[in-house]
Amino acid sequence: MSDTEQVLDVRNEPPFRRHELIFRTYQALQPGEGFLLVNDHDPKPLYYQFSAEHAGEFTWDYVETGPDVWRVRIGRTAP
């Protein structure tokens, strides 16, 4: 993680807003860019949603896997 890496911490967001914020952040990325998602649970359902809607267009790398905090680096690849 660099000093300038964008971090999106959704732990204090209401659950119904989280996916909206995450996908808005993803959509704003240029190819080759990414952000670090910080969550209070394993965002595996989000991974499945990305796979369904953006197959082959994103990267997903766990940086920390709980038990209290999950960090996932999500990137946008070239279409």
Q: Which CATH number fits domain 6-76: 3.90.1150.10, 1.25.40.10, 3.30.110.40, 1.10.238.10?
A: 3.30.110.40
List the one residue out of 14, 16, 6 whose CA is nearest residue 38.
6
**Strands, E, within the chain: which ranges?**
6-9, 34-39, 58-65, 70-76
Q: Would you kindly state where each structural domain of the chain is located, as residue ranges? A: 6-76
List the pLDDT tens digit at each of the 79 positions of the chain.
Answer: 455 789 999 999 999 999 999 999 999 999 999 999 999 999 999 999 999 999 999 999 999 999 999 999 999 997 6
Q: CA–CA separation, 32 vs 11, rounded Å?
A: 26
Q: What is the pLDDT of residue 79?
A: 67
